[in-house]
Amino acid sequence: MADPRVTKFAKVLIEHSARVVPGDRFLLEGTTAAEPLLHELYIQMLGKGAHPHLMMTLPGLMPFSQEEMYLTYANDAQLDFVPTFYKLAYEQFEGRIRIHSATNTHGTTNIDPAKVQRYHKGLATITETQFRRGGEGTFKWVTTLFPTDGYAQDASMSLKEYEDFVFGAVHANEDDPVAFWKTVESKQQSAIDYMKGKSQVVLRGPNVDLTLSVKGRKFMNSFGTFNMPDGEIYTGPVEDSANGWVKFTYPANYNGVSVEGAELTISNGRVVTAKAEKNEEFLVKTLDIDAGSRYIGEFAIGTNFDIQRFTGNILFDEKIGGSFHMAFGAGYPETGSTNKSAIHWDMICDLRTDSEILVDGELFYKNGQFVFEK
């Protein structure tokens, strides 16, 4: 019997996140492990008069997933190659829905990092197209996740517990999940409005002492249109403005590798020293992938207090209420960011204890809560 939460999940993705209208051409990306959600999306999208195009991959068939096979056996020319159908869809379609649905989230851990980095450099054109067209309003993209055993194990949950967590986080249990996400939009808008015309942001706490500029930049209200689940406000700081130090309190996961205790010193916007308690070499190599990867593409504050536990998946973890995160690498042009890179690596820091954010010298945020005067 089909899980009714999957039906509601698909509904909120189509009607709220992707805003599908008749005639839209949409790429549906996911592994075969996400078949229940892909099935619902396909049917509901047809019902909207749109044109769904399924692009399904193999999640973890023995001995390798499709991604592992490619990274293991592809030569340099193949790693540099921009996939034809993805390139066409990102350049010409009206949107895409990507469903993370890996069954083994650590499959690429022992693959040569140089091969992984080369592969992602090859995909940089697609990433840039997504961000550019998204900023222009000509490409509607949303990223989400379907619960699998792999993600459940990362989160130290049973599959049933993790399913409940995921469907709860996207509010597929609500009678009207679309209406719920509309309320999130209105609640966050007051913080967005406050930030208009502001210049300097200062973060202070046990794990951060950082100053950056948002002058001329736009804060975005993230309420389920690009990510699902959601709950954050974000911008792209002035590229050469950040100065200070931050130690990220949660593991920073990227391409199946977990970097723990990442500690960065930033000068004139650029990471000048990077160390970690675990996988420091991977951290440094990834930050050296190209000219833009040591600069901050995104600064964001997590607002989703329905997500309070770390799960090892950035889609959920970056939204943790009472945290902030920064992404090193590609920025979002709609915020005013001009930083370009093959990577966009989010790293999260808790702000719920003895921490504050000042905006132009005024207290804006303290111990995980907005405190500004409207």
**Edge-to-edge strand list for the sheet holding 344-350:** 220-222, 232-235, 296-302, 323-329, 344-350
Contacts of 99 (CB under 8 A, 6+ apart): 28, 29, 30, 31, 34, 37, 38, 144, 145, 146
Q: What is the spatial distance between Cα 213 and Cα 297, in angstroms, rounded to a whole number?
A: 12
- The domain ranges of the chain are 4-173, 187-370
- Residue 221 region, left (φ>0) first, then alpha (ψ -120 to 50), else beta? beta
- Residue 140 region, left (φ>0) first, then alpha (ψ -120 to 50), else beta? beta
- What letter does residue 334 receive in the DSSP assignment? G
Give the three-state DSSP class for 335: helix
Global model pTM greater than 0.75: yes
The beta-carbon contacts of 212-217 under 8 Å, at least 24 apart in sequence, are 212/237, 212/238, 212/241, 212/242, 212/243, 212/296, 212/299, 213/237, 213/238, 213/241, 214/238, 214/299, 216/336, 217/335, 217/336, 217/337
- Residue 212 region, left (φ>0) first, then alpha (ψ -120 to 50), else beta? beta
DSSP string, 268-304: TTEEEEEE-SB-HHHHHHHHTSSTTTTBEEEEEEE-B
Instruction: Given CATH 3.30.470.10, say whether it is the number of domain 4-173.
Output: no
pLDDT score for 84: 93
Cα distances from 74 to residues 66, 102, 243, 260, in angstroms, run 11, 20, 40, 30
CA-closest candidate to residue 34, choices 6, 67, 63, 68: 6
Contact of 135 with 332, CB cutoff 8 Å: yes
Per-10-residue mean pLDDT of the chain, 374 residues long, equals 90 96 97 95 97 89 72 92 93 97 82 83 87 90 95 94 94 92 93 96 98 97 94 97 97 89 98 97 94 97 90 93 96 93 94 97 96 83
- What letter does residue 208 receive in the DSSP assignment? E
pLDDT score for 62: 47
Give the CA count within 13 Å in the CB-facing half-sphere of 237: 27
